[in-house]
Protein backbone atom coordinates (compact mmCIF):
# COMPACT_ATOMS: atom_id res chain seq x y z
CA UNK A 1 0.00 0.00 0.00
CA UNK A 2 1.55 3.33 -1.03
CA UNK A 3 2.05 6.18 1.36
CA UNK A 4 -0.15 9.27 1.06
CA UNK A 5 2.83 11.23 -0.24
CA UNK A 6 3.33 8.70 -3.04
CA UNK A 7 -0.31 9.18 -4.09
CA UNK A 8 0.31 12.91 -4.40
CA UNK A 9 3.44 12.31 -6.48
CA UNK A 10 1.54 9.98 -8.82
CA UNK A 11 -1.33 12.45 -9.18
CA UNK A 12 1.17 15.22 -9.88
CA UNK A 13 2.97 13.07 -12.45
CA UNK A 14 -0.31 12.07 -14.12
CA UNK A 15 -1.35 15.71 -14.25
CA UNK A 16 2.02 16.61 -15.79
CA UNK A 17 1.66 13.80 -18.34
CA UNK A 18 -1.79 15.00 -19.33
CA UNK A 19 -0.61 18.61 -19.48
CA UNK A 20 2.27 17.52 -21.71
CA UNK A 21 -0.27 16.33 -24.27
CA UNK A 22 -2.19 19.63 -24.27
CA UNK A 23 -0.33 21.13 -27.29
CA UNK A 24 -1.11 18.00 -29.27
CA UNK A 25 -4.79 18.13 -28.32
CA UNK A 26 -5.03 21.83 -29.14
CA UNK A 27 -3.44 21.21 -32.56
CA UNK A 28 -6.14 18.70 -33.51
CA UNK A 29 -9.02 19.58 -35.77
CA UNK A 30 -11.93 21.18 -33.96
CA UNK A 31 -14.12 18.08 -34.21
CA UNK A 32 -11.40 15.90 -32.66
CA UNK A 33 -10.44 18.19 -29.78
CA UNK A 34 -13.47 17.42 -27.61
CA UNK A 35 -13.03 13.70 -28.13
CA UNK A 36 -9.35 13.97 -27.18
CA UNK A 37 -10.21 16.00 -24.08
CA UNK A 38 -12.78 13.43 -23.01
CA UNK A 39 -10.22 10.69 -23.61
CA UNK A 40 -7.72 12.50 -21.39
CA UNK A 41 -10.34 12.98 -18.68
CA UNK A 42 -11.08 9.26 -18.72
CA UNK A 43 -7.53 8.66 -17.49
CA UNK A 44 -8.50 9.97 -14.06
CA UNK A 45 -10.91 7.07 -13.72
CA UNK A 46 -7.87 4.78 -13.66
CA UNK A 47 -5.57 6.97 -11.56
CA UNK A 48 -5.30 4.33 -8.83
CA UNK A 49 -4.28 1.68 -11.36
CA UNK A 50 -1.73 4.05 -12.86
CA UNK A 51 -0.34 4.64 -9.38
CA UNK A 52 -0.10 0.88 -8.77
CA UNK A 53 1.78 0.35 -12.05
CA UNK A 54 4.98 1.49 -10.38
CA UNK A 55 6.17 3.04 -13.62
CA UNK A 56 8.61 5.92 -13.33
CA UNK A 57 7.25 7.47 -16.53
CA UNK A 58 3.50 7.51 -16.93
CA UNK A 59 3.25 7.48 -20.72
CA UNK A 60 2.73 3.71 -20.92
CA UNK A 61 0.05 3.56 -18.20
CA UNK A 62 -1.50 6.69 -19.72
CA UNK A 63 -1.90 4.97 -23.09
CA UNK A 64 -3.13 1.83 -21.40
CA UNK A 65 -5.87 3.79 -19.61
CA UNK A 66 -6.92 5.33 -22.92
CA UNK A 67 -7.04 1.89 -24.54
CA UNK A 68 -8.95 0.47 -21.60
CA UNK A 69 -11.54 3.25 -21.77
CA UNK A 70 -11.93 2.69 -25.52
CA UNK A 71 -12.28 -1.06 -25.06
CA UNK A 72 -14.90 -0.49 -22.39
CA UNK A 73 -16.92 1.75 -24.72
CA UNK A 74 -16.54 -0.73 -27.57
CA UNK A 75 -17.92 -3.53 -25.38
CA UNK A 76 -20.87 -1.32 -24.41
CA UNK A 77 -21.59 -0.57 -28.07
CA UNK A 78 -21.32 -4.25 -28.99
CA UNK A 79 -23.80 -5.19 -26.26
CA UNK A 80 -26.20 -2.46 -27.38
CA UNK A 81 -25.84 -3.61 -31.01
CA UNK A 82 -26.63 -7.21 -30.07
CA UNK A 83 -29.71 -6.07 -28.15
CA UNK A 84 -30.93 -4.00 -31.10
CA UNK A 85 -30.18 -6.83 -33.52
CA UNK A 86 -32.26 -9.23 -31.41
CA UNK A 87 -35.11 -6.70 -31.30
CA UNK A 88 -35.04 -6.33 -35.10
CA UNK A 89 -35.05 -10.10 -35.57
CA UNK A 90 -37.98 -10.44 -33.17
CA UNK A 91 -39.83 -7.69 -34.99
CA UNK A 92 -39.17 -9.35 -38.36
CA UNK A 93 -40.47 -12.70 -37.12
CA UNK A 94 -43.68 -11.04 -35.83
CA UNK A 95 -44.15 -9.01 -39.02
CA UNK A 96 -44.12 -12.12 -41.17
CA UNK A 97 -43.04 -12.85 -44.73
CA UNK A 98 -43.95 -9.44 -46.17
CA UNK A 99 -40.88 -7.90 -44.45
CA UNK A 100 -38.56 -10.53 -45.92
CA UNK A 101 -40.04 -10.17 -49.38
CA UNK A 102 -39.87 -6.37 -49.41
CA UNK A 103 -36.28 -6.34 -48.17
CA UNK A 104 -35.28 -8.84 -50.88
CA UNK A 105 -36.78 -6.61 -53.59
CA UNK A 106 -34.38 -3.81 -52.70
User: What separation, in Å, do the N-terminal and C-terminal C-alpha atoms of the chain show?
Assistant: 63
What does the alpha-carbon distance between residue 22 and residue 25 come to, in Å, rounded to a whole number? Answer: 5
Long-range contacts of 93-98 (CB under 8 A, 24+ apart): none
Question: For 59-74, what is each residue's pLDDT tens digit?
Answer: 887 788 888 888 888 9
80 or 41: which carries more pLDDT confidence?
A: 80
Q: Kindly give, in sequence order, each residue whose CB lies less than 8 Å from that of residue 100, ignoring residues fewer than 6 positions away.
A: 92
Does residue 8 surpass a pLDDT of 80?
no
Q: Where exactly are the structural domains of the chain?
A: 4-105
DSSP 53: T
What does the alpha-carbon distance between residue 100 and residue 86 come to, in Å, rounded to a whole number? Answer: 16
Kindly calculate the radius of gyration of the chain based on its CA atoms and give it in whole angstroms: 22
- The arithmetic mean of pLDDT across residues 53-60, rounded, is 74
Please check whether residue 65 is in contact with residue 43, taking contact to mean a CB–CB distance below 8 angstroms.
yes
Amino acid sequence: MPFAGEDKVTIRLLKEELEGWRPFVEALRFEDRQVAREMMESCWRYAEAVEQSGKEFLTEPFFLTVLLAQERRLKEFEAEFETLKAEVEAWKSRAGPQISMSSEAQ
